[in-house]
Amino acid sequence: MAFLTDIDRERIRSAIRSAEAKTSGEFVTVVARASDTYLFMPTLVAAAVALVLPGAAWLLGFRHHLAELYALQVGVFIVLLPLLLWPPLTRLVVPRSVQQHRAHRLGREMFHVCGLHRTEGGTGVLLFVSVLEHHVEIIADHGINAKVGAGDWQKIVDAFTAAVRQGRIADGFVAAIAACGALLAEHFPHGAGDRDELPDHLIEL
């Protein structure tokens, strides 16, 4: 991804290794450019504008030949749809609740795809970012949830989200991993028999 460099990826890998040296928790980091293609809403908006425009032009006195109005309609749709698929505009036309639902769903899917639900003691933690939606989520397995409440994650998530909104994705990951590592070290200290069960590299979608 263009917004992450090899140096960023290595910083994240190093942060994971450093955190896992202090706790039995297993960290996986995932960043997605977007959690959905969001074709439906931009297409609907472009189609609605294209359908309304000829009627508005007719009412305003621009009574051209029907073929010209039809050409205007098609042209507006063809031009407007790609514009609405540009991420900043997509974010504006797609309801926030839909964006959050799609991002949350992808985060849950990645939790299972990455095998975080199969760690010894249920100590898997996913740090998930979906950039388009400015969505940040920390998903922990049952073993951690038994001792660490949702409120304990919130400050980490808030700081992480602020970094993502500023485009500092790597900084957000590094700080969040360190904070999660410190939090889990209190409840799940690293043991002599602990082994690295999951990949330390950043997964990019």
Helix (H) or strand (E) holding 138: strand 135-140
> pLDDT digit string (tens) for 9-48?
899 899 988 888 888 878 888 999 998 888 888 888 888 8
pLDDT of residue 62: 64
The pTM assigned to this predicted structure is 0.79
Residue type (1 letter), 42:
P
Q: Which domains does the chain have, with CATH numbers?
A: 6-36+95-204 (3.10.310.50), 40-93 (no CATH)
Q: Which residues neighbour 167 within 8 Å (Cβ) at sequence distance 6 or greater?
A: 3
Q: For residue 53, is pLDDT > 80?
A: no
When mean pLDDT is compared across 61-70, 87-96, 108-117, 168-177, the lowest value belongs to 61-70
Which of 1 and 7 is assigned the larger pLDDT?
Answer: 7
> pLDDT digit string (tens) for 130-170?
989 989 998 888 878 777 776 778 888 888 889 888 888 88
